[in-house]
């Protein structure tokens, strides 16, 4: 009986959900209908007039591929389906000979993007073909999100073909664990949240003036002296301090575990060692590396410290070489972020060693840049060369444009889109992470009194949705825009539920900018799609904001 009802309804099912006026109440309560208009919206959804696929306990997932990434994909799909439907869908490596229904995973798709996938849904099978295991994973995410997360039980998948590939190869999210520390389990949950949004780059901000979180074999003192601050200012009163020792750090095993957990979800981790500013943690452990000799202590407040690494001290170059070499060994991805932002030059102007280095290098002021800015370029070039020796490339904040930019450097444009535009015009790749749209520590509602304390500003959901990555970029330079990222600075974010509240659902808006076709951009339609995404947040226990301004 169910089949008859379904076949009369399949034509209207896509985009509208199952008809609530169906004649059999039994059918309506036991099966929900999948809706392929998910977040981010796929590029092509082609309805088919064939009969739908019914997901029930007879279905198995077929993964013939010996590739361990594909087997992980299959296991994750089985776990997602169990969570959403309550059904035990087993994974097999050869098709079952009988006529039982199958979800078949493969990497047989040929496409320009490795993240591309195609899903073919017929009465007999759902076939997800990726252009790589990552592509198959994104197909799995779309299939998962098409299920009504508010309903358990069997699912009707209307016959259709879905063809999809991302607009951008780099789809990033950033997490600051220096201002407030978030343990490995929270970072793994953040990675789960990213996977649900088809994101693939986690920018992990591991060091700053308020704490050093990354364990290094050659420099354990960075943790023993640099991970716990004596207290934290209360709210925005920088003259206050709660005097409660605060901090934390990861163990080497936790770092390895997080890297592997992310890799299973096709997410690469970009560690950030922010230099030569934002370095009070290193200076606290090594006062001799600062221009004044200190003493220094981990900051209990927020902002930009005048105390930075002394660029005239040879020992600074030695420790940077050792630290970055070990970072390169720990993290497998090809990029390391070396910061370069917010480095005041006050100390360098007064420091004999820094001025001697400027003389030695023959740096002079010119119309565009000061000799101290050029000294910073020298430090960035040194760090770039160290990482290059280890086969890595660097990403830096857009301040690295002040001076000479290393050839392979990728510019992360945070002060609006201008840095990305300038980078592209000078032949450098860029990532757009403008504070105007994607600094998610900003308020998401004008109703500030009923929001948790935020750093300021106002970035509603609609603003995050409205970003145009190619605005002002000439067609020939667009190839240099690798992608888009949102940043989460945690000065005022103490708990992980608060982290989740700040990024969800603004990540949903971001994910359509990162992934979907620009011509599909429609905020009202997006909000309709967001309703089921929020059900998925609930099903996963992710805290989120109900604000949709």
The minimum distance between CB 378 and Zn ion, in angstroms, equals: 12
Closest CA to 247 of 275, 210, 277: 210
Q: Which is nearer to Zn ion, 83 or 355 (CB)?
A: 355
- The torsion angle over the Cα atoms of residues 490, 376, 379 and 250, rounded to 10 degrees, is -10
Which among 113, 118, 146 has a CA at the least distance from the CA of 37?
146
Of 62, 175, 196, 291, the residue at the interface with Zn ion (CB under 5 A) is 291
Question: Contact region for Zn ion (CB under 5 A) — 160-168, 345-353, 472-480, 532-540?
Answer: 345-353
Q: Any idea what DSSP says for residue 450?
A: G
Shorter beta-carbon distance to Zn ion: residue 349 or 498: 349
* 218: number of Cβ within 10 Å: 11
- What sign for the dihedral angle of Cα 451, 453, 458, 459? negative
The least CB distance from residue 311 to Zn ion, in Å, is 6
User: What's the CA gap between 403 and 408, in Å, rounded?
Assistant: 15
Write the DSSP string, 33-82.
E-----SSPPSEEEE-SSPPEEESTT-EEEE----HHHHHHHHHHHHHHH
What does the block give as tokens for 111?
């496409």
Query: Which of the stretches 96-104, 197-205, 306-314, 431-439 binds Zn ion when contact is defined by CB under 5 A?
Result: 306-314
Q: Which of 5, 195, 258, 310 binds Zn ion (CB under 5 A)?
A: 310
Distance between CA atoms of residues 301 and 491, nearest Å = 9
Among 281, 351, 383, 504, binds Zn ion (CB under 5 A): 351
Nearer to Zn ion, 14 or 291 (CB): 291
Structure tokens at 201: 């780059």
Of the ranges 113-121, 202-210, 288-296, 538-546, which one interacts with Zn ion (CB under 5 A)? 288-296
Q: Smallest distance from the beta carbon of 356 to Zn ion, in angstroms?
A: 9
What value, to the nearest 5°, has the Cα angle with vertex 172 and ends 166 and 175?
A: 160
Give, as one character, the DSSP assignment of residue 487.
B
Of 215, 276, 312, 406, which one interacts with Zn ion (CB under 5 A)? 312
How many residues bind Zn ion, per CB under 5 A? 6
Nearer of residues 353 and 378 to Zn ion, judged by Cβ: 353
Find the part of the chain contacting Zn ion (CB under 5 A) among 41-49, 304-312, 409-417, 486-494. 304-312
**Which residues, listed in sequence order, are joined to residue 439 by a DSSP beta bridge?**
487
Taking the complex as a whole, the smallest distance from the CB of residue 321 to Zn ion amounts, in Å, to 18
User: Closest separation between CB of residue 287 and Zn ion, Å?
Assistant: 13
Q: How far is the CB of 348 from Zn ion (least distance, A)?
A: 6
Map residue 456 onto helix, strand or coil: coil
Beta-bridge partner residues of 106:
129
User: Segment near Zn ion (CB under 5 A), from 64-72, 150-158, 317-325, 346-354?
Assistant: 346-354
Cβ closer to Zn ion: 308 or 473?
308
**Is residue 246 within 8 Å of 232, Cβ to Cβ?**
yes
- Tell me how far, at minimum, the Cβ of 358 lies from Zn ion, in Å: 10
- Bridge partners of 247, per DSSP, are 228
Q: Is 353 in the site for Zn ion (CB under 5 A)?
A: yes
Question: What six digits make up the tokens of 497?
Answer: 């539920």
Which residue, chain included where needed, has tokens 């990029």? Answer: 335
Q: Which stretch binds Zn ion (CB under 5 A): 240-248, 252-260, 285-293, 469-477?
A: 285-293
Q: How far is the CB of 272 from Zn ion (least distance, A)?
A: 23
Q: Quick one: 179 or 345, whose CB is closer to Zn ion?
A: 345
| Token code pair at residue 451 | 């929001």
User: How long, in residues, is the chain?
Assistant: 549
Q: Does 191 contact Zn ion by CB under 5 A?
A: no
Q: Check residue 199 for interaction with Zn ion (CB under 5 A).
A: no
Q: How far is the CB of 288 from Zn ion (least distance, A)?
A: 11
d(CA 374, CA 366): 10
CB of 209 to Zn ion, least distance (A): 17
Alpha helices for 286-400 (secondary structure H):
314-330, 346-350, 352-361, 371-389
Q: What is residue 435's three-state secondary structure?
A: helix
Q: In this chain, which stretch among 162-170, 311-319, 337-345, 521-529 interacts with Zn ion, using CB under 5 A?
A: 311-319
CB of 296 to Zn ion, least distance (A): 14
- DSSP bridge pairs for 511: none
* Radius of gyration of the chain, Cα coordinates, nearest whole angstrom: 25
Q: Which of 177, 202, 309, 354 binds Zn ion (CB under 5 A)?
A: 354
**Smallest separation (angstroms) from Zn ion to the CB of 293:** 10
Helix extents (H) in 160-311: 184-196, 221-224, 252-264, 280-285
Tell me which residues in 460-499 interact with Zn ion (CB under 5 A): none
Least separation in angstroms between residue 339's CB and Zn ion is: 18
Cβ closest to Zn ion, residue 3 vs residue 359: 359
Which spans of this chain sit near Zn ion (rule: CB under 5 A)?
Answer: 291, 310, 312, 351, 353-354
């Amino acid at each position: 009986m169910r089949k008859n009802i379904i076949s009369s309804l399949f034509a209207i099912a896509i985009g509208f959900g199952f008809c609530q006026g169906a004649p059999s109440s039994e059918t309506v309560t036991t099966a929900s209908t999948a809706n392929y208009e998910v977040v981010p919206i796929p590029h092509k959804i082609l309805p088919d007039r064939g009969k739908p696929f019914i997901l029930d306990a007879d279905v198995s997932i077929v993964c013939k591929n010996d590739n361990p990434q594909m087997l992980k994909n299959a296991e994750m799909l089985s776990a997602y389906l169990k969570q959403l439907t309550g059904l035990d869908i087993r994974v097999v490596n050869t098709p079952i000979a009988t006529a039982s229904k199958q979800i078949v995973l493969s990497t047989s798709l040929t496409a320009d993007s490795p993240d591309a996938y195609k899903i073919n849904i017929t009465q007999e099978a759902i076939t997800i073909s990726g252009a790589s295991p990552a592509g198959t994973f994104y197909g799995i995410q779309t299939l998962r999100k098409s299920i009504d997360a508010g309903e358990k039980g069997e699912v009707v998948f209307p016959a259709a073909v879905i063809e999809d590939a991302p607009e951008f190869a780099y789809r990033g999210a950033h997490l600051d664990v220096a201002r407030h520390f978030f343990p490995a389990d929270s970072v793994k949950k953040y990675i789960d949240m990213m996977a649900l949004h088809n994101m693939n780059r986690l920018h992990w901000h591991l060091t700053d003036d308020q704490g050093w979180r990354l364990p290094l074999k050659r420099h354990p003192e960075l943790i023993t002296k640099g991970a716990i601050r004596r207290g934290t200012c209360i709210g925005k009163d920088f003259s206050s301090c709660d005097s409660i020792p605060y901090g934390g750090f990861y163990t080497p095993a936790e770092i390895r575990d997080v890297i592997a957990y992310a890799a299973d979800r096709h997410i690469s981790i970009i560690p950030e060692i922010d230099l030569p500013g934002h370095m009070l943690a290193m200076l606290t452990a090594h006062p001799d590396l600062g221009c004044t000799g200190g003493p220094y202590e981990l900051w209990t407040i927020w902002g930009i410290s005048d105390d930075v690494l002394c660029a005239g001290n040879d020992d600074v170059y030695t420790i940077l070489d050792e630290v970055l070499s070990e970072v390169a060994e720990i993290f497998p991805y090809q990029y390391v972020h070396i910061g370069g932002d917010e480095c005041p030059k006050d100390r360098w102007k007064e420091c004999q060693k820094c001025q001697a280095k400027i003389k030695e290098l023959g740096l002079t002021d010119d119309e565009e840049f000061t000799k101290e800015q050029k000294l910073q370029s020298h430090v960035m070039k040194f760090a770039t060369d160290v990482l290059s020796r280890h086969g890595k490339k660097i990403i830096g904040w857009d301040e690295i444009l002040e001076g000479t930019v290393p050839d392979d450097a990728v510019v992360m444009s945070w002060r609006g889109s201008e840095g990305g535009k300038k980078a592209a015009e000078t032949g450098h790749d860029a990532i757009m992470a403008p504070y105007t749209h994607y600094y998610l520590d900003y308020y998401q509602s004008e109703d500030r009194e009923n929001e948790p304390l935020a750093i300021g500003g106002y970035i509603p959901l609609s603003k995050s949705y409205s970003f145009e990555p190619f605005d002002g970029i000439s067609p020939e330079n667009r190839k240099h825009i690798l992608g888009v990222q949102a940043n989460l600075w945690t000065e005022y974010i103490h708990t992980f539920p608060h982290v989740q509240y700040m990024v969800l659902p603004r990540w949903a808006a971001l994910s359509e900018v990162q992934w979907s076709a620009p011509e599909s951009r429609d905020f009202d339609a997006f909000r309709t799609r967001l309703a089921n995404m929020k059900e998925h947040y609930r099903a996963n226990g992710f805290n989120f904001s109900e604000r949709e301004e």
